Amino acid sequence: LGGSISRALQQMSNATIIDEKVLNECLNEITRALLQADVQFKLVRDMTTNIKKIVNLDDLAAGHNKRRIIQQAVFNELCKILDPGKPSFTPKKGKPSIVMFVGLQGSGKTTTCTKYAYYHQKKGWKPALVCADTFRAGAFDQLKQNATKAKIPFYGSYTESDPVKIAVDGVETFKKENCDLILVDTSGRHKQEAALFEEMRQVAEATKPDLVIFVMDSSIGQAAFDQAQAFKQSVAVGAVIVTKMDGHAKGGGALSAVAATKSPIIFIGTGEHMDEFDVFDVKPFVSRLLGMGDWSGFMDKIHEVVPMDQQPELLQKLSEGHFTLRIMYEQFQNILKMGPIGQVFSMLPGFSAELMPKGRENESQAKIKRYMTMMDSMTNEELDTSNPKLMTDSRIMRIARGSGHQVHEVMDMMEEYKRLAKMWSKMKGLKIPKKGEMSAL
């Protein structure tokens, strides 16, 4: 996919005369690629029509960087499709909010509502889970198991067969217990059928959720629009979560879900585990959709900001997929040298959301400096290993003492390291473009 888009754009930049024919050829290639990524045909067609309006052929002929103009236009249009223009309801800590999860069977509702609960629990919320799926045998056991693992209170029944009754009882129970996030997991069916939608409508009517989240599997393909629309017609869907983004699917169906529900994507699921859950970030998502990979923007930046003589070594390490604390240290040094740090690393999903929230660059900078002080107290062995198990309690205590920090701060730093190492490992085996070569779009 990325290949075909790059080829299309490469053709553009090689063509000496940029005429309408070349632009059309390029857009046709991009269209094919987006359709392969499961973006709905109508969305693609509207987008290419827009691009033709935006991209001024005369400008192109005048020797501007054609490739950049087209790539930027495509990228921006896709970002626009993912922005429904209004944010979703955001629950407030300390005030009870009811959140209902809907979607077809297997889309990941039960997994996702536990992840959602766990995510908020870590941030100091008091979440609780209600299993209103009486359709699938074992549904309650599954939720119970998840909830127990995450130490989250749960409610359900083996005998009651009325999902509405369970939902209402569960919500009441947790309101009394002052939970501030009451999450209602619902049933699904393999097919979209009237009974399912009627059940969703009744559960929603009885529990009056503050937010209904439509959970969709990233691999659902062209069916996404109709499915999302069908749910939206029965319940007031206000947000979307896309699951299984760790798989092969590019998730183009998510654009349809946003268009059909007029609701934003808020999180993505990136694995079966509780913590494999990320705040949705539009740019990396679009990059992936276009086959650029989350890292290609980052690669361009590496070429820009990492000193020339360090580039080959860093790129080599990247392709090996090893991420040591020393590499992290060196990258932090580079970040601090760069000035407005947010800009560069904002294109990395993990970096931007957690380590460097937008608008809080100063804080982030302070945090990076703190981490570096801690790393200054590490031995070479510790800095050069890519095995976090080496960091025993006694080593962590020594580092904390040596750097004048708290043990939990060193542990935070190690968590950050592990998260980055995980992202880094995705780079393994990647063919790294050399400077000046096209890195996909």
Binding site for ligand GDP (CB under 6 A): 103, 105-111, 188, 243-244, 246-247, 269-272
Please pick, from the candidates 110, 134, 263, 403, the single residue that binds Mg ion as defined by CB under 5 A: 110
Q: Which of 47, 8, 82, 7 is nearest to 265 (CA)?
A: 82
Task: Please give the full DSSP string across 215-237, using - where no structure is assigned.
Answer: EEETT-GGGHHHHHHHHHHHS-E
| Structure-token match 């947790």, residue found | 174
State which H helix or E strand residue 374 sits in: helix 361-376
Q: C-beta of 153: minimal distance to Mg ion in Å?
A: 18
Q: Can you give the C-alpha Rg of the chain in angstroms?
A: 24
Which CB atom, from 214 or from 285, has the smaller least distance to Mg ion? 214
Residue 291 binding partner per list ligand GDP, Mg ion, none, with a CB distance cut-off of 5 to 8 Å that depends on partner kind: none
Strand partners, 241: 215, 267
As measured in angstroms, the least distance from the Cβ of 407 to ligand GDP is 32
Q: Among the candidate windows 107-115, 196-204, 366-374, 376-384, which touches Mg ion by CB under 5 A? A: 107-115
If the CB atoms of residues 109 and 283 are measured against Mg ion, the closer one turns out to be: 109
Phi-psi region of 274 (alpha: psi -120 to 50; beta: other; left: phi over 0): alpha
> Are the CB atoms for 105 and 185 separated by under 8 Å?
no
Residue nearest to ligand GDP (CB): 269
CA distance 381 to 108: 41
Contact 311, 322 (CB under 8 A): no
To ligand GDP, the closest distance from the beta carbon of 136 in angstroms equals: 7
Which partner from the list ligand GDP, Mg ion, none does 433 bind, CB cut-off 5 to 8 Å by kind?
A: none
From ligand GDP, Mg ion, none, interface partner of 25 (C-beta below 5 to 8 A by class) = none
CB nearer ligand GDP, residue 246 or residue 361: 246
If contact means CB under 5 to 8 A according to the sort of partner, which of ligand GDP, Mg ion, none does residue 218 touch? none
Q: What is the DSSP letter of 209?
A: -
- Determine the residue type at 37: A
* Residue (244 or 301) nearer to ligand GDP, CB: 244
Token pair 């800590």 is found at: 93
Q: Minimum Å distance from CB 214 to ligand GDP?
A: 11
By C-beta, is 107 or 296 nearer to ligand GDP? 107
Query: Which residue in the block uniquely carries the two structure tokens 């080599």?
Result: 316
Centre a 10 Å sphere on the Cβ of residue 393 and count the other Cβ atoms it contains. Answer: 9
Distance from first CA to last CA of the chain, Å, rounded?
A: 10
C-beta closer to ligand GDP: residue 172 or 246: 246
Judged by beta carbon, residue 109 or residue 288, the one nearer Mg ion is: 109
Are 207 and 100 spatial neighbours (Cβ–Cβ below 8 Å)? yes
Please identify, among the stretches 67-75, 105-113, 241-249, 325-333, the one whose residues bind Mg ion according to the rule CB under 5 A: 105-113
227 binds, among ligand GDP, Mg ion, none (CB under 5 to 8 A by kind): none
Rounded distance between C-alpha atoms, residue 304 and residue 327, angstroms:
18
Please give the helix or strand (H or E) that residue 154 lies within, else none. strand 154-155
Q: 10 or 142, CB closer to Mg ion?
A: 142
Segment contacting Mg ion by CB under 5 A, of 63-71, 106-114, 197-205, 221-229: 106-114
Q: Please give the distance of CA 174 from its chain centroid, rounded to a whole number.
A: 29
Q: Does 146 bind Mg ion (CB under 5 A)?
A: no
Q: Cβ closer to Mg ion: 109 or 317?
A: 109
Q: Detail the DSSP E strand segments found in 203-301.
A: 211-217, 237-243, 265-269, 277-279
Which partner in Mg ion, ligand GDP, none is near 66 (CB below 5 to 8 A by kind)? none
Q: How far is the CB of 229 from ligand GDP (least distance, A)?
A: 18
| Smallest gap from residue 159 Cβ to Mg ion (A) | 19
DSSP alpha helices (H): ranges in 135-184? 139-149, 163-176
Size of the site for Mg ion (CB under 5 A): 2
Nearer to ligand GDP among residue 124 and residue 138 (C-beta):
138
CA distance 74 to 163: 45
The entry of ligand GDP, Mg ion, none near residue 244 (CB within 5 to 8 angstroms by kind) is ligand GDP
Using CB under 5 A, list all residues that contact Mg ion. 109-110
